[in-house]
Amino acid sequence: MTTLAGPTNGLVRPLALSDCFRIALEHNFDVKIARFNPEIQRHYLSADYGVYEPSLGLSGVHSYSETPGGLDPEKRPYSGTTTYDDAFNTGLNGLLPSGLTYNFGGTLNGISGTGPGGSLTSDSAGASVNLTQPLLRNAWIDSARRAILVDKKQLKITELALRLQIMNTLTGVELAYFNVILAQEQVTVQEQAFRLAQRLVDESKSKVKAGSMAAFDEKQAESQLSSSQAGLLGAQGTLLAQEYALKSLLSDKFGDWDGVRIQPTERLAVGPQDFNLHESWGRGLAQRPDYLEAKLRIEQQGVVLKYLRNQVYPELDLVGSYGQAGSGLTYGTALSGVQAGTSPSWSFGAQLTLPLIGNHAARQTYRANRAQLAQQLLQLKQLEQNIMVQIGVSVEQAKTAFAQVDATKQSRLFAELALEAQQKLLDNGRTTSFVVVQLQRDLTTARLNELTAMAQYNQALAQLALNEGATLERDKLELQVK
């Protein structure tokens, strides 16, 4: 009997589909890479709020100056001056979410020196607050608020993108898992075909020796045996390739899977499903991550458009200030004067800045982005239509695959009966090996077709769930974004 070398031996690892999902969520490269995006975007969003952090400024300057002496109008000499000046300034500046800018400042000056009248000492201090509140441009939105609103939506977009990546990965794992099952079953079918062909060769040899069969029939049987051997070798190679495909989805360190043979613990099974196209459409348009992402991008564009519309307005700001001053011979006296509040100063008013030729750049930028928003709305409608088409195709493919399962099953049963009947006729010398060989081929084809239909049905259900955006719910998985 001809023998075949099976697939490379190695450690067998039984895996259920749920095990593959768990491993992929932890080790799949695409998922691991995508998980960083929400984290990165959260840092960007947090950085946006830094614009509201106040800044403190401190300065201290010591200066010295001299002026020369001379003669007064009456030709009397006078001495020059020497001045020492110590100036200390502090300021607290910031921006509020309303667009209000503020500045709290303090000054302290100490002057000493000599001059024609003798020594000079004078200290002064002051404290003030200055406020500016936009009333038109930058009033209800400015660049800081725009950045925060846009990045908040961008964070949601990255979370949706992560969800979509996980769904695509899990669907890929499921398709690969069923491909491995299918490949294993195909190896089994080809082994059965090989054994049938080997049995026919053995029987043909015996009959040729006994003179009850022509030598041509023996050669026909040997030809079928060689064909079955080639089919088995091809199926074994396909199985190894499908295992590699599944391992690549499960691994972030492929060397750990070297020599490991995956043994799915599940088998191809087919159960009836209730397909409701309109319900599927509703699910797809309610939870497809790419559709929700497109809607968020439109909302982002709405924020940008609101900001650009605001920039068309002229600058009209309400301004105001208040301060206290103090002076004396010492720093303490000067500061006490500020604290006493006896020397106030204040101001209020408005300032207007008008573009001379109608703010052309801002208006055209606004119009361009308004057209872009209209374009995005059309793209959203196009995506909605594409989703409905994809779901419709998936539903029909699932229905067709389910029908094919029953048809291929009946074909396989008829092929088994036909081969059994012809084998009995061959045993009684009432037919030829040519007919039996052909029926063996038909049976192998029928068995492979049935297995393929079963795998395709399960894969069609996985693809339908992906197109509906329901992969995680179907597989009873929860997405947690840290």
Give the pLDDT confidence score for residue 433 in this predicted structure: 67
Residue 4 has pLDDT above 60, yes or no: no
* Residues 254 and 296 occupy one common structural domain: yes
Which range among 198-202, 412-416, 461-465 shows the weakest confidence by mean pLDDT?
Answer: 198-202
What is the mean predicted confidence (pLDDT) over 79-102?
Answer: 91
Model confidence band, residue 118 (pLDDT cutoffs 50, 70, 90)? low
What is the rounded CA–CA span in Å between residue 294 and residue 20?
A: 31
Backbone region of residue 75 per phi and psi (left: phi > 0; alpha: psi in -120 to 50; beta: other values): left
Residue 215 has pLDDT above 60, yes or no: yes
Cα dihedral across residues 452, 453, 456, 458: positive or negative = negative
Is residue 5 included in any domain, yes or no? no
What is the mean predicted confidence (pLDDT) over 122-140?
Answer: 93
Give the pLDDT confidence score for residue 1 in this predicted structure: 42
* Residues 159 and 219 occupy one common structural domain: yes
Give the pLDDT confidence score for residue 2 in this predicted structure: 44
Residue 181 has pLDDT above 50, yes or no: yes
CATH number, domain with residue 279: 1.20.1600.10
Give the pLDDT confidence score for residue 192 in this predicted structure: 86
Is residue 4 included in any domain, yes or no? no
Model confidence band, residue 481 (pLDDT cutoffs 50, 70, 90)? low
Q: How many alpha carbons fall within 13 Å on the CB side of residue 84?
A: 7
Is residue 330 included in any domain, yes or no? yes
In sequence order, the β-bridge partners of residue 350 are 318
The whole-chain average pLDDT of the chain stands at 89
What is the mean predicted confidence (pLDDT) over 137-161?
Answer: 96
Is residue 174 included in any domain, yes or no? yes
Is residue 132 included in any domain, yes or no? yes
* Residues 446 and 336 occupy one common structural domain: no
What is the rounded CA–CA span in Å between residue 255 and residue 156?
A: 36
Model confidence band, residue 156 (pLDDT cutoffs 50, 70, 90)? very high
Residue 468 has pLDDT above 90, yes or no: yes
List strands edge to edge, sheet with 81-95. Answer: 55-67, 81-95, 101-115, 118-134, 315-328, 344-353
Give the pLDDT confidence score for residue 330 in this predicted structure: 81
* Residues 293 and 177 occupy one common structural domain: yes
What is the rounded CA–CA span in Å between residue 392 and residue 386?
A: 10
Give the pLDDT confidence score for residue 5 in this predicted structure: 47
Of the two residues 455 and 482, the one the predictor is more confident about is: 455
Of the two residues 211 and 5, the one the predictor is more confident about is: 211
Residue 3 has pLDDT above 70, yes or no: no
* Residues 263 and 338 occupy one common structural domain: no
Q: What is the pLDDT of residues 53-71, one digit of tens each?
A: 999 999 999 998 888 877 7
Tokens 């458009």, residue located: 305
* Residues 464 and 442 occupy one common structural domain: yes
Give the pLDDT confidence score for residue 348 in this predicted structure: 94
Tokens 């087919």, residue located: 270
* Residues 298 and 168 occupy one common structural domain: yes
What is the mean predicted confidence (pLDDT) over 284-296?
Answer: 96
* Residues 276 and 396 occupy one common structural domain: yes
What is the mean predicted confidence (pLDDT) over 282-309?
Answer: 96
Give the pLDDT confidence score for residue 221 in this predicted structure: 80
Which range among 349-358, 369-378, 395-404 shows the weakest confidence by mean pLDDT?
Answer: 349-358
Give the pLDDT confidence score for residue 193 in this predicted structure: 85
* Residues 385 and 342 occupy one common structural domain: no
Is residue 268 included in any domain, yes or no? yes
Give the pLDDT confidence score for residue 291 in this predicted structure: 97
Give the pLDDT confidence score for residue 462 in this predicted structure: 93
Give the pLDDT confidence score for residue 302 in this predicted structure: 97
* Residues 447 and 399 occupy one common structural domain: yes
What is the rounded CA–CA span in Å between residue 136 and residue 245?
A: 60
Q: How many domains does the chain have?
A: 2
Residue 365 has pLDDT above 80, yes or no: yes
Residue 214 has pLDDT above 80, yes or no: no
Tokens 């020497």, residue located: 82
φ/ψ of 106, rounded to 5, equals -145, 145
- Percent with pLDDT over 70 in the chain: 95
Residue 338 has pLDDT above 60, yes or no: yes
What is the rounded CA–CA span in Å between residue 248 and residue 259?
A: 14
Residue 113 has pLDDT above 60, yes or no: yes
* Residues 166 and 227 occupy one common structural domain: yes
Domain boundary among 324, 353, 382: 353
What is the rounded CA–CA span in Å between residue 241 and residue 230?
A: 17
Residue 316 CB neighbours (<10 A): 16
* Residues 419 and 347 occupy one common structural domain: no
Give the pLDDT confidence score for residue 334 in this predicted structure: 81
Residue 143 CB neighbours (<10 A): 11
Is residue 54 included in any domain, yes or no? no
φ/ψ of 213, rounded to 5, equals -145, 145
**Largest interatomic CA distance in the chain:** 158
Give the pLDDT confidence score for residue 437 in this predicted structure: 76
Residues 6+ apart with CB under 8 A from 408: 446, 449, 450, 452, 453
φ/ψ of 177, rounded to 5, equals -65, -45
What is the rounded CA–CA span in Å between residue 427 and residue 207?
A: 10
Q: Do the beta carbons of residue 292 and residue 164 sit within 8 Å?
A: no
Residue 332 has pLDDT above 60, yes or no: yes
- SS3 annotation, the chain: CCCCCCCCCCEEEEECHHHHHHHHHHHCHHHHHHHHHHHHHHHHHHHHHHHHCCEEEEEEEEEEEEECCEECCCCCEECCEEEEEEEEEEEEEEECCCCCEEEEEEEEEEEEEEECCEEEEEEEEEEEEEEEEECCCCCCCCHHHHHHHHHHHHHHHHHHHHHHHHHHHHHHHHHHHHHHHHHHHHHHHHHHHHHHHHHHHHHHHHHHHHCCCCHHHHHHHHHHHHHHHHHHHHHHHHHHHHHHHHHHHHCCCHHHHCCEEEEECCCCCCCCCCCCHHHHHHHHHHHCHHHHHHHHHHHHHHHHHHHHHHHCCCEEEEEEEEEEEEEECCHHHHHHHHHHCCCEEEEEEEEEECCCCCCHHHHHHHHHHHHHHHHHHHHHHHHHHHHHHHHHHHHHHHHHHHHHHHHHHHHHHHHHHHHHHHHHHHHCCCCCHHHHHHHHHHHHHHHHHHHHHHHHHHHHHHHHHHHHCCHHHHCCCCCCCC
Note down the domain range covering 261: 11-47+145-304+364-474
Is residue 84 included in any domain, yes or no? yes
Radius of gyration of the chain (CA): 43
Give the pLDDT confidence score for residue 209 in this predicted structure: 81
